[in-house]
Structure formats: structure tokens, C-alpha cells
Structure 1
Amino acid sequence: MWTSNYITSATTAGTEDQKQVLARLLKNQEDIGNAVKPVYGEEAGNKLTSLLKEHIVIAGKIVDAAKSGNAALVNQLNKEWYRNADEIAAFLSGANPYLKNEDLKNLLYMHLKLVTNDLTSSLAKDWNARIVSIDKGVTHIILMADTISEAVVKQFQDKFNK
């Protein structure tokens, strides 16, 4: 939700809440990192937060570059975004034997594609396509959350079967 709100704030003329929405979106990344600390520890939670914040910062730069029409910069930043997704997948699969690196990459790459579709539709003012992108994005992020949550519960059955 906050990702899509950020895209709206960043691409709609006259929207003044872009910085506040970005701050809230970055807080989500802290919340996710904090959520894994009870099972993976402080260091792992902080590392995940760092990787996820990098994901958001790169996305914000992509939004700005796309809005200004700088295709070369968008392409460069997309490479960084996918590299970051690879790092997130490697981190999560390294922490949990029930999460396979390639499966996570596929999930993360689809997430990037859906966020890109949201941005592209917004910039084109194709509101029907944007609605489809957002709906698919919500469904997909729930799938990602369920996949990761199920693996965490499987790995730490003793902490969740009380």
C-alpha cells in the first residue's frame, strides 16, 4: 500500500506528502526487520532492514528518473534494484533452509515487475492499468509474505507450536 502511495505522491503534480510517505514506507522495512529479530537475532534483523531500505531507496530513485524521462538512469538503477533483490534472496535463503534462493529471486523479480507496472501506468495516466497493477501487486505481496512466514514457522516449529 505504501509503495503505491509513494508512486502516487511522487508522480502526481502538486502532491506535497512525498517525503512523509517515503518515511512511512521506510518504516515498514524497519518493522519487517524487527519482526524477524525474535527468531533470527538482532544482527540478522538489522541486516534485513538494511537490505529492504536499500530496495526502497533504489525504487525512489527509479521513480524520480522515470518521471524525468531519464531512461539511461532508469536502466542503471534497475540493475542495482535486481542486484539488491538477489542479495535479499541470498540473505533469506541463507537464513532459512526452507527458502530456496531461486524461488525467492522469482518472487522478488515479480514484485519488481509489478511495482514497475504500477509506476509505468501512473506515469502514462492509464488508471485502469494501474488498478490492475496494484491489485496484482497486493495479491503477490501476500503470496511472498505467506511463503516466507510458512518457512519461518517450519524452521522454528518449537516457537510457533505453543
Structure 2
Amino acid sequence: MRTHHEATFRASTVSLLAALALTGGLLTACSANASAEPASFATHSHSGSSESARQAEPATAETQLSSAMRTLWDQHMAWTWSTVVAFAEGSPGLDATVARLLANQADIGDAIAPFYGDDAAARLTELLQTHITQAIPVLTAAEAGDTTALNAALDDWYANARDIADFLADANPNWAKGELRKMMKTHITQTTGYAADVLTGDYEAAITAFDGAHAHMAHMADELSAGLIAQFPSRF
């Protein structure tokens, strides 16, 4: 049964042609692509000596995990934003941007291999990349004004997000299925929200909404890190 929020979203989706299915990057370890994050999303410190002191502290396994998790989430957010903007502006760089976003999903899948094995990594990558490619029927139906097809595409999109949450919950008892479903659904909702603002040219509102989405994903990253540390204490 659809929630009121989902029904409201569906009613306005025809005007959200860039409702790209851009899922949360979900697990540990920086990939070789970490340096490829767009410059506009790079983090710069202005805190002076206090930041230097923190950097001088020896990294623990826990802090390394948390940092790697945050990097994957930050890259996901950066390329999600870039993709939405490229789509809205008809940029010739759209295909390359989507390809980089898909690569981020593979990075996320590869990152769980040390914990859950190669088969699990491949399955997570498949789920995440499916989640992105499911944007195509959403966009096509929205552009055509085909409400029936649009509703069907959105049903698939939300179902895939639940599948991702369920996959992770089955892998780690410290990740509650209900909470993961809620976090994944929130990520989709926030993404479509700022995509709508971009499409209507309200970049100020889009940036404000993006900041909220980024904070949500940082929280999710920390929750996932905590779950891994709890499940594999001997590694930390």
C-alpha cells in the first residue's frame, strides 16, 4: 500500500524528468577512484592547527573504516548531483557522468568482498546498478506523460531499494531491516526532491535540499560502519 508521501511524489513526478535512481553507496573501503571525486565536492579544512593535530593522530582500524565509508558516500553524492544537473541541462557529459556513477556502485560492491565474499559483492553491485538503470523507464514514462508506465517504473524503483536494504540486513544482524528500508527510501525521496528543484531552475532550493540529503547519507554511512565493527570485532 502506498504511503501518502509516495502518492504525493507520484502525482508530481511528471514534472521531475530527472528522478534518477541514484542509490546510496553502502559499504567500506576507499577504491582507486577516490581521487576522481569532482573538485566542487572536495573537502577543505579551515581549522588550522587543530585539524593538523587530528591528522597527526595514528589512524585506527575503526577510523579507517569510517573514513572509507564516508568517501564512498561522498562520491555517490557528488556524482548523483552531477548527473542530475547534467540531465537537466542537456549536457553532452551526461553519459560519462552516469558511467562514473555506475562505477561507484561497483566500488561499493567490491568494498564488501573482504567481509562477505566475492559472490555477495557481485550481488550488491548488481542490485545497485539495477537501481540506477531503473531510472531509464522512470524518465521515459515521465517525459511521455504516461502515468501508468510511470507508476509501474516507480514501483520497481522502490522495490529495488527495499531489496538492497533487505540484502544488507540479511548479511549483518546489526543492520535492522526496517531501519535500512527507511534510510534507502529517504535517500530516494531526497534525491528526487532536489532533482525537481534543479529541473525547475531553482538551484538555491536544490542546494539546500542537497545539503540535507548529504547529511542523511553521512549518518547512514556511520550507521553502516558501526554495524560492521559490531559484527567483526576481531578486525577492529
Query: Is this a same-fold pair by TM over 0.5?
Result: yes
TM-score (norm 1): 0.91
| 1:74/1:42 CA distance change after superposition, 3 Å | same
Higher Rg of the two aligned structures: 2
Contact kept, 8 Å, 1:58 with 1:80, in 2: the verdict is: yes
Higher relative CO (Cα under 8 Å, sequence separation at least 6) belongs to: 2
Question: What amino acid does structure 1 have at the position aligned with 2:158?
Answer: Y
Q: Does 1:93 align with 2:169?
A: yes
Q: TM-score, normalised by structure 2?
A: 0.64
CA contact (8 A) 1:51 1:87 kept: yes
Identity %: 33
CA RMSD of aligned residues (A): 1.5
1:7-156 correspondence runs (5 A)? 7-13=84-90, 15-66=91-142, 68=143, 70=145, 72=147, 73-156=149-232
Q: Taking structure 1 as reference, are residues 10 and 61 closer, same or farther at Cα in structure 2, changes over 3 Å only?
A: farther
Number of equivalences = 158
Q: More helix per residue: 1 or 2?
A: 1
For structure 1, list consecutive stretches of 5 or more residues without a partner in the other structure.
none
Contact 1:10 1:63 in 2 (8 A): no
Q: 1: distance between equivalents of 2:95 and 2:212?
A: 26
Question: Counterparts of 1:103 and 1:77 in 2: how far apart (Å)?
Answer: 24
DSSP-derived class of the 1:99 partner = coil
Higher mean displacement: 19-28 or 147-156: 147-156
Q: Is the 8 A contact 1:10 1:64 kept in 2?
A: no
Deviation at 1:62, TM superposition (A): 2.9
